[in-house]
Amino acid sequence: MRIHEKKIASQWFELRLQGLKDWEIRINDCDYQAGDYMVLSEYDEYYTGRNMIVMITHVAKNVPHLSDDVVVLSTRDTVPVERSRVLKEVVRK
């Protein structure tokens, strides 16, 4: 399990909060894997202080019409015990 700390634009953060978005399109700059976690921090010209933790459930590579270095990540919300474990790991860094 790896933890990826990434920023996310406010418009996408809101859709995620509303349960309308369960995916991320990202440059594969850190070898995303199913089972990894992402700490998504809302960013709108500055960090807003809001964040969420999601788990990556699938990594789609070589998606038509996207460049080879871009992946589509399927994600799911985390449960409290997962969030607690991830936060402990982030604090240790």
| Tens digit of each residue's pLDDT (9 = 90 or more) over 60-70 | 999 999 999 99
Can you give the pTM of this predicted structure? 0.93
How much is the pLDDT for 92?
83
Contact 15, 21 (CB under 8 A): yes
Token pair, residue 48, equals: 């807003």
Identify the domain containing residue 33 by its residue range: 3-92
CATH number of 60's domain: 2.30.130.30
Domain count, the chain: 1
Q: Which amino acid is at 66?
A: L
**89 contacts 5 by C-beta, under 8 angstroms:** no
pLDDT per position as a tens digit, 10-51? 999 999 999 999 999 999 999 999 999 999 999 999 999 999
Structure-token pair, residue 22: 């369960």
In this prediction, residue 91 carries a pLDDT of 86
